[in-house]
Amino acid sequence: MTVTVERVKLVDVGPRDGLQNEKQPVDAAHKIELVHRLQAAGLREIEVTSYVSPKWVPQMADNAQVMAGIRREAGVRYSVLTPNLKGLEAALAAPREQWPDEIVVFGAASEAFSQRNINCSIEESIERFRPVVAAAQAQGIKVRCAISCALGCPYQGEVTPDEVERVVRLMKGIRVDHCGVADTIGVGTPRRVQAAMERALEHYPLAEVSGHFHDTYGQALANIYACLELGVSTFDASIAGLGGCPYAKGATGNVATEDVVYLLDGLGIDTGIDMARLVDAGAYISEVLGRAPASRAARALLAKR
Ligand code: HMG
Ligand code: MG
């Protein structure tokens, strides 16, 4: 298959997926600065934080402070995770100019993961999301979903394309605008990823399907290439390869944004992202965390400076 995609939209999920998983506390000021550096590098979609229970994920307890602190740039879309109405209401309790442009409801293709991550069954999660989707859309806020464990589950093991499609249908049924297919534990390989993606593409148009790949087994770039072959052109990625899910033990970070941009630049696919500034953003947050960026491309480029 040849790749005909000419432009890719990258959503940097580092401030959320990345920093939700850090053991050490990260100040809101550093999170805000990271968002600023990502937008300065050309990112036009940034997943900033999540409105989840602080008992479950204390790292995101400063959500309102971070949303209030970011300096917004025209043309940048800022998204947040909202697992229930309480989360949406908290996000919308702020002045309107601090509202997210997009929210993410997150479900799973595996019952076991749904229970561990959001404390309810898949069916129950959809019933929780239904009023969230309607209330957000009534305010002109776009709704994306993440379908976790689409390629495998740390508790259930194998997950089939049929199981993925079941949840895609349910998300479509409650009018979620965009379908994100997530390999939470990074076990997918290209042909299996295509099989899962194809199920999403049976219900959503190409522009409304995206991939979210953790890189635990080093397959994320190959999986993105496999998605490009299908024409998918939106991907989540995380600056410096930060990330993981507190409820998916052993899962490493997301594919690093720098590595994806290096791949896409090499393929002649436009991302609108300035690699040097992106590497700076990754170096910044890595220094805050006291370690080198997990991105191979960033490390190679930093070594040449
Ligand atoms: P629950 O305990 O079933 O909820 O948790 P509840 O409705 O029974 O409420 C229990 C307590 O939580 C109450 O407080 C509520 O007020 C509070 P208490 O009376 O005990 O003091 N609460 C909230 N507080 C703040 N914000 C809220 C909220 N909702 C309830 N929105 C719940 C259910 C969904 C809240 C919980 O399970 C939770 O917060 N889970 C979040 C887990 C999480 O954030 N995981 C990581 C993000 S998902 C991810 O990383 C995957 C992704 O990257 C894709 C991939 O890689 O797969 C997206
Ligand atoms: Mg994730």
Give the pLDDT score at 303: 97
Residue nearest to atom 31 of ligand 1 (CA): 87
Distance, CA 221 to ligand 1 centroid (Å)? Answer: 30
| Centroid of ligand 2 to alpha carbon of 305 (angstroms) | 31
Atom of ligand 1 nearest to the CA of 150: 57
Closest ligand to the CA of 63 = 1
Question: For 202, left (φ over 0), alpha (ψ -120 to 50), or beta?
Answer: alpha
pLDDT at 117: 96
- Rg (Cα) of the chain, in Å, rounded? 18
Which protein residue's CA is at the shortest distance from atom 22 of ligand 1?
Answer: 53
Residue of the CA atom closest to atom 28 of ligand 1: 53
Q: Where are the domains of the chain?
A: 9-304
Ligand 1 centroid, distance to 55 Cα (angstroms): 8
Ligand 1 mean position to 295 CA, how many Å? 30
Predicted confidence at residue 58, as pLDDT, reads 97
Place of tokens 């790749």: 3
Q: What is the pLDDT of residue 249?
A: 80
Residues involved in catalysis: 245
pLDDT score recorded for residue 72: 98
CATH assignment, 9-304: 3.20.20.70
| Average confidence (pLDDT) per 10 residues, the chain, 305 residues | 95 97 93 98 98 97 98 98 98 98 98 97 98 98 98 96 98 99 97 98 98 97 98 98 81 94 98 98 97 96 96
Q: Spell out a b/e string for 146-183, using b for 16 or more CB atoms within 10 Å of the CB, else e.
A: bbbbbbbbbeeeebebebbbebbebbbebebbbbbbbb
Which residue ranges have their beta carbon within 6 Å of ligand 1?
17, 20, 50-53, 56-57, 81, 83-84, 86-87, 90, 106, 117-119, 146, 148, 182, 184, 212, 214, 245, 247
Rounded-to-integer distance, Cα 150 and Cα 147, Å: 6
Residue 218 C-alpha to ligand 1 middle, in angstroms?
29
**pLDDT of amino acid 1:** 79
Using the atom order of ligand 1, give the atom closest to the CA of residue 214.
56
Residues paired with 103 in a beta bridge: 80, 143
Helix count and strand count (H, E) for the chain:
11, 8
Q: Residue 203: what pLDDT? A: 98
pLDDT for 245: 74
For 122, which DSSP code?
H
CA-proximal residue: ligand 1, atom 10 (nearest)? 53
Please give the pLDDT value at position 246.
76
As a whole number of angstroms, the distance between CA 238 and CA 235 comes to 10
Q: Which of 13, 52, 53, 184 to mutate to test the pocket of ligand 1 (most atoms within 8 A of CB)?
A: 53
H-type alpha helices, 202-256: 220-230
Task: Dump the DSSP string for 152-215.
Answer: -BTTTB---HHHHHHHHHHHHHTT-SEEEEEETTS---HHHHHHHHHHHHTTS-GGGEEEEEB-
* C-alpha atoms less than 13 angstroms from C-alpha of 128 in its C-beta half-sphere: 21
Give the Cα separation of 111 and 106 in Å (integer): 13
- CA 40 to chain centroid, in Å, comes to 19
Residue 132 CB: number of other CB atoms within 10 A?
22
